[in-house]
Chains A and B, each alone.
Chain A
Amino acid sequence: MAKITYHTHDNKTHTIDVQKGLTVMEGAIQNDIPGIDADCGGGMACATCHVYVKEEWLDKLPAKEDGEEDMLDMAFEPKNNSRLSCQLIVSDDLDGLEVNIPSKQG
């Protein structure tokens, strides 16, 4: 388990123990955290699981794979700290990760 904190648009904070091996997206979906749609189900094909990663975590995350940046072009209000949460696989290294969920996904 790793603790992942999701800050949702309604100014609520949800800290969840997410099982290792799941994605940050799945952690949100399984715990009914609002704001992550994940329409394509984790296929890096839709950009509706877009999150903003807390700045200090940016360098600690695995690098973006080909295609993630392309999909982020399609995201709602992408910023420099944007990631697709379906591409962030939870591990010990991600324990304590904090992400902000945008006001909407499209």
Chain B
Amino acid sequence: MNKTDVLIIGAGPTGLFCAHQLGIIGLSCEIVDNLDKAGGQCIELYPDKPIYDIPAVPECTGEELTNNLLEQIKPFNIKFHLNERVEELKKNQNRWNVKTSGGVEFDVAAIVIAGGVGSFEPRKFPLKECEKFEGNSLFYSIKDKSIFKDKTISIFGGGDSALDWAIELSNTSRVSLIHRRDGFSGAEASVQKVKELNDQGKLNLYTKYQMDTVLGDKKIESVKIKHDEGEIKEIKSDYVLGFFGLIMQLGPILDWGLNIDKKTVQVNTENFETNVSSIFAIGDICSYPGKLKLILSGFHEGALAARGCFKYAKPDEKLRFEFTTTSKAAQERLGIKK
């Protein structure tokens, strides 16, 4: 059991800055995120795209912003729990017991949901029949590549994941790569490599085809793919892999008794607390009249929510407003030596 003052759900810019604000006022926190790294949408959706509206930062990329925020919270030694999704909340007197998908447990005084538009999950094949094979012969990510050795594999998608795995697995497996158009979104070098392997007969590339049906009893035996013009091909397949990027799902947050409207959590604008006391929501996931989905709004919301957490974490103490320029306590917490 991890005991800390506040649990932050989501390691995007808003969650990271909220952690900073908690640290400044002397509260401890830990952060859970479903992705394998901090940064949220900034890292997952647009690591290389420049952002122009962070106050006092004329231009930075999603990745730079994330790295700067991580640098800023370094003094607080915050513990991250990545690849974990918060599944369950239980009220335990004045505190919350929280459990994640990987079985990590927390005992906290308050919770800040900084979950963006939800947790990132792999986007799946539209076909219903695919569901029954998921996890046994159909996958959206690869954990153990050794199972594919000497097997016949159909990979769908045109981004970097699809291309990279097609190249890698073509060394040890019979690979078909199927994509809906001639163009690819992945790196040009990988596209060239795939075309080379196709010319050498080491891989079969099918463009302008999409999944039509998947056949098999307990495990997949073959897939039928359909060309733009209607022609159908059947390809023997022991395994099917789909790489269509990630989609955001609100997931278990829906079950926590929060007022939810159009995939967002309603909050007050005084401290961004939800209808459930000691649960706060900040950033893209919260809504209130006039809400702007900007990173700078998330920073403001995080600063106020952090102060809102104080009375739950330290009910017998009074929070005094201080500036980091002059507060000895804040500077000590930041590890500044004078």
Q: Which residues of B contact A39 (CB under 8 A)?
A: 117-118, 247-248, 263
> Shortest distance in angstroms between B115's beta carbon and chain A's nearest beta carbon?
12
**How far is A45 from B41 in the complex, measured between Cα atoms in Å?**
9
A-B CB contact pairs (8 Å), 16 listed: A39-B247, A40-B41, A40-B45, A41-B284, A41-B293, A46-B247, A69-B185, A71-B185, A73-B157, A73-B185, A73-B245, A74-B123, A74-B247, A78-B210, A80-B228, A106-B249
Q: Which residues of B contact A106 (CB under 8 A)?
A: 123-124, 247, 249
- With A39-B248, A106-B247 as contacts: A73 and B158 at CB distance below 8 Å: yes
A95 within 8 A of B: no
> Shortest distance in angstroms between A30's beta carbon and chain B's nearest beta carbon?
11
Decide: B126 and A76 in contact? CB cutoff 8 A. Answer: yes
B288 within 8 A of A: no
A93 within 8 A of B: no
Q: Nearest B residue to A67 by beta-carbon distance?
A: B185
Q: Which residues of B contact A46 (CB under 8 A)?
A: 45, 247-248
Decide: A40 and B117 in contact? CB cutoff 8 A. Answer: yes
Chain B positions 114-171 with a Cβ under 8 Å from a chain A Cβ: 117-118, 123-124, 126, 157-159
Q: Which residues of B contact A74 (CB under 8 A)?
A: 123, 159, 244-245, 247
> Shortest distance in angstroms between B157's beta carbon and chain A's nearest beta carbon?
7
Decide: A73 and B180 in contact? CB cutoff 8 A. Answer: yes
Decide: B181 and A69 in contact? CB cutoff 8 A. Answer: yes
**How far is A77 from B124 in the complex, measured between Cα atoms in Å?**
10
Q: Which residues of A contact B245 (CB under 8 A)?
A: 47, 73-74
Which B residues fall within an 8 A CB radius of A?
Answer: 41, 45-46, 117-118, 123-124, 126, 157-159, 179-181, 183, 185, 210, 228, 244-245, 247-249, 263, 284, 293
Knowing that A48-B247, A74-B159 are A-B contacts, what are 12 other residue pairs whose CB atoms are under 8 Å apart, sorted by A's residue number?
A39-B118, A39-B248, A45-B41, A46-B247, A70-B159, A73-B181, A73-B244, A73-B245, A74-B123, A74-B245, A78-B180, A106-B247
**How far is A68 from B183 in the complex, measured between Cα atoms in Å?**
12
1/0 per residue A39-78: CB within 8 Å of B?
1110101111000000000000000000001110110111
1/0 per residue A13-57: CB within 8 Å of B?
000000000000000000000000101110101111000000000
Q: Which residues of A contact B263 (CB under 8 A)?
A: 37, 39
**How far is A106 from B124 in the complex, measured between Cα atoms in Å?**
7
4 tightest CB-CB pairs across the interface, nearest first? A70-B185, A106-B247, A74-B245, A45-B45
Partner of B46, one of A45, A48, A70: A45
Q: Nearest A residue to B294 by beta-carbon distance?
A: A41
Residue from A48, A73, A105 with most neighbouring chain B CB atoms (10 Å): A73
Partner of B159, one of A41, A73, A80: A73
> Shortest distance in angstroms between A7's beta carbon and chain B's nearest beta carbon?
18
**How far is A43 from B153 in the complex, measured between Cα atoms in Å?**
34
> Shortest distance in angstroms between B48's beta carbon and chain A's nearest beta carbon?
12
Q: Nearest A residue to B263 by beta-carbon distance?
A: A37
Q: Nearest B residue to A74 by beta-carbon distance?
A: B245
**How far is A96 from B247 in the complex, measured between Cα atoms in Å?**
31
**How far is A19 from B229 in the complex, measured between Cα atoms in Å?**
38
**How far is A80 from B181 in the complex, measured between Cα atoms in Å?**
10
**How far is A80 from B159 in the complex, measured between Cα atoms in Å?**
18
